[in-house]
Structure 1
Amino acid sequence: MSATFLFSFIIGYFLLLLGVAWYTSRNSNNESFFIGNRNSNWMLVSFGMIGTSMSGVTFVSVPGTVASAGFGYFQVVLGYFLGYFVVAYVLLPLYYRLHLTSIYNYLQQRFGITAYKTGALFFIISRTLGATARLYLVINVIQIFILDKLDISFPVTTFVILLMILLYTFEGGVKTIVFTDTLQTSFMLLGLIVCVFYIMHTMDLSISSSISALNEKGYTKFLNTDINSSGFFLKQIIGGAFITIGMTGLDQEMMQKNISVKTLKDSQKNMITFCSVLVLVNLLFLFLGGLLYLYVSANGINIKGDDLFPTVALQYLPSFVGVIFIIGLISALFPSADGALTALTSSFCIDILGLQRNATATEKQTKKTRLTVHFTFAIVFFLCVLFFKWLDDKSIIDIILKVAGYTYGPLLALFSFGIFTKRKLGENIGIPFICIAAPLFCYFLNKEAATWFNGYQIGIELLLINGLITFAGLWAISTPPNHTATEVTYGSE
């Protein structure tokens, strides 16, 4: 298949996004960028969040895990499902009651400026690393299969893609992303469904016969009962739940879309609808992975892991399937990158620079600052993607989960300490030190766990362990409540 032919579809897709961005950003202002004027349609937000949550990592990596782990990833997905209910019925009511634009404002109201800045900085670090790792994975696939053949270098590819994202997000922000994410999720799911049914058709399989064939290969096994394994089902389910609470409920990128919905009730409907569909979509990706392994086995193709889906789609299936794959892949790329760039800009402007607290700043001055921050984060994204390329690590999904475990743990502790206790922290200088010390301790614990605990391996429960250690440290430096009206109000929420 011609690389130029595929590249033309990427350009056409971007022009479509630019047209949607132009239409949705008309008459937009800073409130449109930060919070979508609190008037987003909950059904659009729910559908668009599927693409944001899944990203290119799910699109490329999840099918590739089936040969080694079967449907084991579905244990984590069940944990995600439970975690979304906590987000919907514990965190969202809190955010709406306090009318937050940045969710980290809760930490300021509950504890003070030190906890507030600490929480926001941990989000900025985590989201920057996580988003650029996802971005690198997809850009690298496009580079290897298309742009290398056109003699376009990786840095040029990265620069152009980030420029594309800048062009359609710098004006409308959240208001635009709600619509572009919906469009991109549609294309991503279209690519998934077409590939599933085409491979079934090619191999003359029905749904029932496909499941039987996958059962015979052992691919559908998903329950891991080895307690020492990092994939033990209780670790995966509990860890998945806390990953969701941290990476969705305590993440400005995900929550700024939810709190852009007009009412709490609609936002909760969005969350529950979204998580129900997400379970089915992840199951379909695993099903696709099993079909792909059946296909390569039947055709004597030696390929596995992250290379499985792109290699089969672009080198062994007809051109129209390859085009749909590429559109689906870049549809998985943009939602995770554009939302992260917008959320990081919002958090830095509101939480670190305090734009909303600056009553003297005009709309024009605020916009100028916002645009400067937005461009700066695009440069940071560019440098981070080049760093991941330099690392040339094949386990990007492992990097993402580890980053989440180390950086969202302190956020989980700060929010749970505020919600479930009434103790005070004040402007305690120990807050950032504890939030840094806990992940460092977890790093050494993770390295030595098998030696110290008779072969026990820490998996995605690292986030929970990190959060518990941080929580204990916060308790140690906190003071009992004085039962003032303010403390009772925020401490009980």
Structure 2
Amino acid sequence: MDDLVEQTIDRYFDVFDYIVFGVMLIVSALIGVYFAFFAKVKQDTTSEYLMGGKTMGIFPISMSLIASYISGISMLGIPAEIYTYGTQFWMIITSEGLVSITMAVAYLPVFYKLQITSSYEYLNLRFNQTVRLLGSTLFLLKMLLYIPIVIYVPALAFSQVTGIHLHLVTPVVCIVCIFYTTLGGLKAVVWTDTVQTLVMFCALVCVAGMGTINAGGFTKVWNTNNEGGRIDFFNFNWDPTIRHTFWTVSIGNYFGWLASCSINQAMVQRCLAMPTLRKANITVGILVVGIMALVSMCCFMGLLIYATYHKCDPITRGAITKSDQLLPYFVMHIAGSMPGLPGLFVSGVFSAALSSMSTGLNSMTGVIFEDLIKPNVKKPLSEAYASLLMKTIVVIIGTICVGLVFVVEKMGALIQASGSLAAITAGPLLGIFTLGMFFPFVNHWGALSGGLVSGGLIAWISIGTQMQMAKNLIQFPQKPVSVEGCNPNWVMEYLSLTLHPDAKPKLDPPFFLYRISYMYYTALGCITAITIGIIVSLLTGGNKNKIVDKNLFSPVIHRFIKGNVLNNEIKLNEL
């Protein structure tokens, strides 16, 4: 193990690695070709293209959801998080089981009874077209900014440590993704996600196994991390300004995951592709187990990396420049004796990126077609024309995302801000849907006001926080690293430069909301939307005497709704 700390990147992709990586791309493309031209049921109707004919099986849908929620950013970022800040982040898995129960009991039954294609169609049924447009716009904005980043981050990291040029690999993988998503619709996306999920698992298991052996076994890995202060699971400090505590990662992740799973178009679209609600709930349960397993594997990779480089930090030494390069740097070292393993791992990371991109393209197409095009078309579209239109939308969106990848490259500061981007849209959306499903008296004025105020608040906090971080006014304490195992000459030079650092003046702490943990952003956005929505609805008369469909409300509150019920329609008689 000790000989690893002094190495530099001296091994790049060989022919076996390129073959493994190429096979993954070819298989993905062939799946799209199969469902477009050779499957028994062609993808030439709206139901088939967006919902898979509502006959999808539990296994492929489960694998697709797992792949969709584990991106290349996660595979690279989680090990770096554990290496840099310790294991507290690992506790996000504690809230995922509760999220699945909440979704299965409170949210998913509403969508399933209504049998809608776009989750934002619910907002029109419950409120009005304006609220639906707000929800759709927030979702499309989020995905348009998320997809380029999810492709760019792994491409950047691997281009720097494997020799694959960023401008070569990014267009290639994006074109393949656009190709099979366009041709095969939801079924192609789901089955390629299934293949890509298996590749992810294989890659992580192989690298984790080799890394554990190289580090001297699991016990030594754990003890080394414990001695280095990385093992930190139960920090019960309630201070909301601490970046990660048990409460910030468990409570914060509960709201974040609830927004990602319960109302997100990608999730709803796949769950409604199942023939029954029971099977959809089983799928959600498998998703939780799979996510917990993948997150735990990625966290363990962080422990492995520290156990390997605990005496010579590669970032301090200058072998790499960013923490998100730690995992590929580690892989290229331990995989030197196994041709094809680096290719398998690169395939795993890009599989995560491709699955997130294909899911995004397919779900965005559903939202654009169902929420923006169909309501504004006077005559019903033929199935053939609708299918062609949706495929055209995929190509256009995919092309835009490829172009935005290169914009992101030029605007690197946006990468740091991307972590807060999801909360700007997730919090308000979760709040709006919760208002609709759990508060019968809330009207469209309340939902619209709550969503706008919430989005503005979280955007202000997020942007303000990033500006304070750019000025180094907000910094997070990192776990200690060592360079004592590095080259002695290099260590002396390093110490001479850092022994007498310049004194820095003590500055006043930034505004409280700028210091609050980013994990609470979604929760804060949701609570704000609900609070403003309730107040505005009460001030504007609520929904008294309005006739509404009982299925628009969560089954959890059916017994508490007061009004006259006739054929599932309720005439509300109280605010």
* TM-score normalised over the length of structure 1: 0.90
One-letter amino acid of the structure 2 residue matched with residue 324 of structure 1: L
Q: Kindly state the Cα deviation for residue 348 of structure 1 after the two structures are TM-superposed.
A: 0.6
Name the structure 1 match of 2:292.
Answer: 279
- Greater RCO between the two (CA within 8 Å, min separation 6)? 1
Alignment equivalent of 2:35, drawn from 24, 36, 61 = 24
Asked whether the equivalents of residues 17 and 168 of structure 1 are also in contact (C-alpha less than 8 Å), the reply is yes
Q: Kindly state the Cα deviation for residue 390 of structure 1 after the two structures are TM-superposed.
A: 1.0
Other structure's SS at 2:295 match: helix
Name the structure 2 match of 1:240.
Answer: 253
Superposition pairs of residues 283-362 of structure 1, within 5 angstroms: 283-297=296-310, 301=314, 302=317, 305-318=323-336, 319-354=339-374, 360-362=380-382
Name the structure 1 match of 2:226.
Answer: 215
Name the structure 2 match of 1:404.
Answer: 422
What per-residue deviation string (whole Å, max 9, x for no partner) do you get for residues 156-208 of structure 1? 54333221111111122211111111110000010001011101222331x34
Looking at secondary structure, tell me which structure has more helix per residue: 1
Q: Kindly state the Cα deviation for residue 124 of structure 1 after the two structures are TM-superposed.
A: 0.9
Name the structure 2 match of 1:389.
Answer: 409
* Identity value in percent: 18
Alignment equivalent of 1:49, drawn from 55, 65, 90 = 65
Q: How far apart are the structure 1 equivalents of 2:104 and 2:418?
A: 24
Structure 1 unaligned segments of length 5 or more: list them. Answer: none
What per-residue deviation string (whole Å, max 9, x for no partner) do you get for residues 53-90 of structure 1? 11101111111112222112112232333222222221
One-letter amino acid of the structure 1 residue matched with residue 48 of structure 2: S
Superposition pairs of residues 137-152 of structure 1, within 5 angstroms: 137-146=153-162, 148=164
Name the structure 2 match of 1:460.
Answer: 519
One-letter amino acid of the structure 2 residue matched with residue 78 of structure 1: T
Asked whether the equivalents of residues 409 and 439 of structure 1 are also in contact (C-alpha less than 8 Å), the reply is yes
Asked whether the equivalents of residues 231 and 459 of structure 1 are also in contact (C-alpha less than 8 Å), the reply is no
Q: Which range moved further: 125-134 or 220-229?
A: 220-229
Q: How far apart are the structure 1 equivalents of 2:375 and 2:553?
A: 26
Alignment equivalent of 1:473, drawn from 527, 532, 548 = 532
Name the structure 2 match of 1:89.
Answer: 105
Q: How far apart are the structure 1 equivalents of 2:441 and 2:288?
A: 33
Q: How far apart are the structure 2 equivalents of 1:256 and 1:488?
A: 22
Q: How far apart are the structure 2 equivalents of 1:230 and 1:421?
A: 33
Q: How far apart are the structure 1 equivalents of 2:244 and 2:358?
A: 32
Q: How far apart are the structure 1 equivalents of 2:20 and 2:371?
A: 39
Q: How far apart are the structure 1 equivalents of 2:264 and 2:439?
A: 21
Q: Kindly state the Cα deviation for residue 452 of structure 1 after the two structures are TM-superposed.
A: 4.4
Q: How far apart are the structure 1 equivalents of 2:378 and 2:228?
A: 62
Q: How far apart are the structure 2 equivalents of 1:124 and 1:171?
A: 22
Is residue 490 from structure 1 mapped to residue 552 from structure 2 by the alignment?
Answer: yes
Q: Kindly state the Cα deviation for residue 487 of structure 1 after the two structures are TM-superposed.
A: 5.0
Q: Kindly state the Cα deviation for residue 223 of structure 1 after the two structures are TM-superposed.
A: 2.5
Q: How far apart are the structure 1 equivalents of 2:29 and 2:375?
A: 28
Name the structure 2 match of 1:417.
Answer: 435
Other structure's SS at 1:234 match: helix
Asked whether the equivalents of residues 147 and 356 of structure 2 are also in contact (C-alpha less than 8 Å), the reply is yes
Asked whether the equivalents of residues 32 and 172 of structure 1 are also in contact (C-alpha less than 8 Å), the reply is no
CA RMSD of aligned residues (A): 2.6
Q: How far apart are the structure 2 equivalents of 1:310 and 1:80?
A: 28
The size of the alignment, in residue pairs, is: 484
One-letter amino acid of the structure 2 residue matched with residue 417 of structure 1: L
What per-residue deviation string (whole Å, max 9, x for no partner) do you get for residues 109-139 of structure 1? 1111111111111111112222221111122
Name the structure 2 match of 1:165.
Answer: 177
Q: Kindly state the Cα deviation for residue 451 of structure 1 after the two structures are TM-superposed.
A: 4.0
One-letter amino acid of the structure 2 residue matched with residue 139 of structure 1: A
* TM-score normalised over the length of structure 2: 0.78
What per-residue deviation string (whole Å, max 9, x for no partner) do you get for residues 266-323 of structure 1? 1101111220232122112111111112112367744572111111212453233312
Q: How far apart are the structure 1 equivalents of 2:19 and 2:265?
A: 34
Q: How far apart are the structure 2 equivalents of 1:454 and 1:57?
A: 26
One-letter amino acid of the structure 1 residue matched with residue 298 of structure 2: F
Asked whether the equivalents of residues 314 and 322 of structure 1 are also in contact (C-alpha less than 8 Å), the reply is yes
Name the structure 1 match of 2:503.
Answer: none
Is residue 98 from structure 1 mapped to residue 160 from structure 2 by the alignment?
Answer: no
Asked whether the equivalents of residues 422 and 492 of structure 1 are also in contact (C-alpha less than 8 Å), the reply is no
Distance 1:23 1:443, change over 3 A: closer
Q: Kindly state the Cα deviation for residue 147 of structure 1 after the two structures are TM-superposed.
A: 5.5
Is residue 38 from structure 1 mapped to residue 49 from structure 2 by the alignment?
Answer: no
Q: How far apart are the structure 2 equivalents of 1:184 and 1:438?
A: 36
Name the structure 1 match of 2:480.
Answer: none
One-letter amino acid of the structure 2 residue matched with residue 349 of structure 1: F
Superposition pairs of residues 124-143 of structure 1, within 5 angstroms: 124-143=140-159
One-letter amino acid of the structure 2 residue matched with residue 462 of structure 1: Y
Is residue 79 from structure 1 mapped to residue 95 from structure 2 by the alignment?
Answer: yes
Asked whether the equivalents of residues 75 and 349 of structure 2 are also in contact (C-alpha less than 8 Å), the reply is yes
Q: Which range moved further: 79-88 or 430-439?
A: 430-439
One-letter amino acid of the structure 1 residue matched with residue 523 of structure 2: L
